[in-house]
Amino acid sequence: MRGTDASVYAAHGLFLGHLLFGYWHHETDTYDITWTTPFCIMTLRFIGLVMDIYDGAQKPESLKPDQKLTAITDKPSLMEIAAFGLFFQGTLVGPQFTLSKFRSFVNGDWLDSEGKPPKSAFMPSIGRFLAGCTYMVLHQWGQFWIPDKWFNSDAFYGLSFFWRWSWVTLWFRLTMYKYCAMWLITEGASILSGLGHNGKDKEGNDKWDGVRDLHIIKWETGHDYNSVVESFNCGTNTFAKNHIHRRLRWLNNKLASHVVTLSYLAIWHGYHLGYFLLFGVELGCVQAQNQLYALIKRTPGWSEAIAQPIARPFIWLFGKIVISYSMGFAFLMFGLIKTKYWIGPVKSLYFIGFFIYFVFWPILHIVLLRVLPRHPKRPEEAAKTTVETKKEL
C-alpha cells in the first residue's frame, strides 16, 4: 500500500492501536516502564515513515517545503526499516528522526574529508552528557525533597493558596528535569555516533544539533509559551507540526487544527484524563497568549512601551511567572497520573488554571477589544476591506 491513503490510515490504526492496547493491558497507578515505553517512540517514527513514503509518491509541486525535505521516493527494504526503527540510540526516549536523516547518517555524509568521524563531535557530546547528569541529580534531589505523595498530605493542604501553588510550580520544574536529563544524555550519544550532525555553519564549523530535544538556555530563560514549544521535546513537537498539524490545512481553521493535534498527542500518551486536561490547558494558554499579542499589536503605544529597555526585565519576569505557574498547575494532572491523586491538589488550587484561561481571560479579552483604541487602518488595508465587503454584498 505504498504511497496511498490506505497506508497512512493503516499505519495509525496498527501502530497507535497496538500502543494503546499495551497501555490498557499494563496500566497501573504509576508510570509504567514496560515495552510500551520504547514503543511509544517507535510508534511516531514508523507512522512518520509511512507518511514520508506517501509524500514521496506525490507530485513534487504538491508538497510543502517541509514535506520535500523528508519525502521518501525509493521504498526502503525491511532490513533498512528495522535498522531505522530499532536504532539503539533512538528507541528508549528518542530522539525522533526521519528516514532521510538516518540515511544521511548511514551513508557517512557527516564524515570528514578523510572519511573519518570529525573530532569536533567530542566536546559537544560530553557537554550534553554532563548537562544531562546535572539535570538528573537535580531531579533526584527534587523527588526526595518534594515527593508526589506530599500533595495529598495535611501539610500541603495546610499551606496558604500562594504557597500551595508555588510548591506545585517548583515540583513541576524539578520533575521536568527527568525528561531533560534523558534527552540530553541520549543526545550526547547521538552526537558522538554522528547522528546528531547537522551540516556546517557559515564559518564552516560542524553543527551538532541535528537531533536536539532540549534547548537548555531557551528552556530555562524563555518567558512565553512559544519558547516552551520551541525548546522542550523538540523532536515530538516537530513530528506533531509537520506530520499532523500542517496536514490539517484542509480544515481551514487554525484552532481546529491545534485542537486535533493536541488531542492526538494526548491519546498517544495514554488514556488518563489528566493527559487530556493538560493539553486542554495548554491550548487555553497558547490561545490567550496569541490574543494578548494581537491586542498589543493593534493598540497604539503598547508595543512601543514594552519595547523600552527599562521595561524588558519586568516583561521577562511577568512572562516567566505566568508560564511557570500556569504549567505547574496543568502538570499536576499529568504528573500525578490518576484522578484520585491529582483531584485533591487541583481542588485546593480552586481549579485556578481553568478559571483564568477559560473564564476570566475570554471575558477580559472581549472587554479589551471593545474599550482599547486601535491603530487606524492603512489605505491598502481599508481598500482591501472595501473590496471584501463588496464581494459579500
61 is a domain residue: yes
Number of domains in the chain: 1
Q: Is the peptide bond before 95 cis (omega within 30 degrees of 0)?
A: yes
Query: What does pLDDT average to in each consecutive run of 10 residues of the chain (393 residues)?
Result: 82 94 82 82 96 92 88 93 91 90 93 86 96 98 95 97 98 97 96 93 92 96 95 95 92 93 95 94 96 94 91 96 97 94 98 98 97 78 49 40
- Residue 2 has a pLDDT of 61
Instruction: For residues 250 and 388, give the distance between their C-alpha atoms in angstroms, rounded to a whole number.
Output: 22
Answer whether 177's CB lies under 8 Å from 133's CB.
Answer: no
pLDDT at 384: 56
Query: What confidence score (pLDDT) does residue 271 get?
Result: 87
Q: Is residue 10 a contact partner of residue 16, using CB atoms and an 8 Å limit?
A: no
| DSSP-derived 3-state class of residue 110 | coil
* Cross-strand partners of 206: 200
Terminus-to-terminus CA distance in the chain, angstroms?
48
**Angle of the 339-348 helix axis to the 161-193 helix axis, nearest 10:** 130
- Distances 380 to 192, 278, 298, 301, 357 between C-alpha atoms, Å: 54, 42, 16, 22, 35
Active-site residue 233, yes or no? Answer: yes
pLDDT recorded at residue 264 = 96
pLDDT of residue 94: 83
Instruction: Assess contact for 224 and 289: CB atoms under 8 A.
Output: yes
Question: In the prediction, which pLDDT does 72 show?
Answer: 94
Sign of the dihedral through C-alpha 247, 249, 255, 256:
negative
pLDDT value at position 390? 44
Q: Give yes or no for a contact between 268 and 16, defined as CB atoms under 8 angstroms apart.
A: yes
Cα gap 43→152, rounded to integer Å? 35
Cβ count within 10 A of residue 31: 9
User: In angstroms, rounded to a whole number, what is the distance separating the alpha carbons of residues 361 and 352?
Assistant: 12
Active site residue 242: no
| Three-state secondary-structure class, residue 214 | strand
CA 206 remoteness from chain centre: 26
Question: Of residues 12, 215, 269, 365, which has the active-site annotation?
Answer: 269
Asked, for residue 17, whether it belongs to a domain, the answer is yes
Q: How far apart are CA 138 and CA 231, in angstroms?
A: 19
| 177: nearest Cα among 132, 238, 126 | 132
Residue 112 to residue 287: CA distance in whole angstroms: 46
Angle (deg, nearest 10), helices 78-85 and 36-56:
130
The reply to whether 189 falls in a domain is no
User: Would you list the DSSP string of 241-284?
Assistant: IIIIGGGGGGG--HHHHHHHHHHHHHHHH-S-HHHHHHHHHHHH
Whether 40 is in a domain gets the answer yes
Residue 393 and residue 388: Cα distance in Å, rounded?
9
Instruction: Look at residue 97 and tell me if it is in a domain.
Output: no
* Residues 352/253, Cβ–Cβ less than 8 Å: no
Residue 160 lies in a domain: no
Provide the residue range defining the domain that includes 44. Answer: 1-86
User: In the prediction, which pLDDT does 346 show?
Assistant: 98
245 lies in some domain? no
**Within its chain, how far is the Cα of 129 from the centroid?**
22
* Marked catalytic residue, from 233, 242, 243, 272: 233
Whether residue 176 contacts residue 213, with contact meaning beta carbons closer than 8 Å, is answered with no
Rounded-to-integer distance, Cα 244 and Cα 264, Å: 8
Residue 339's nearest CA partner among 277, 274, 271 is 274
C-alpha cell at 225: 509559551
Q: Is residue 48 part of a domain?
A: yes
| Residue 231, CA distances (Å) to 185, 214, 254 in order | 16, 5, 22
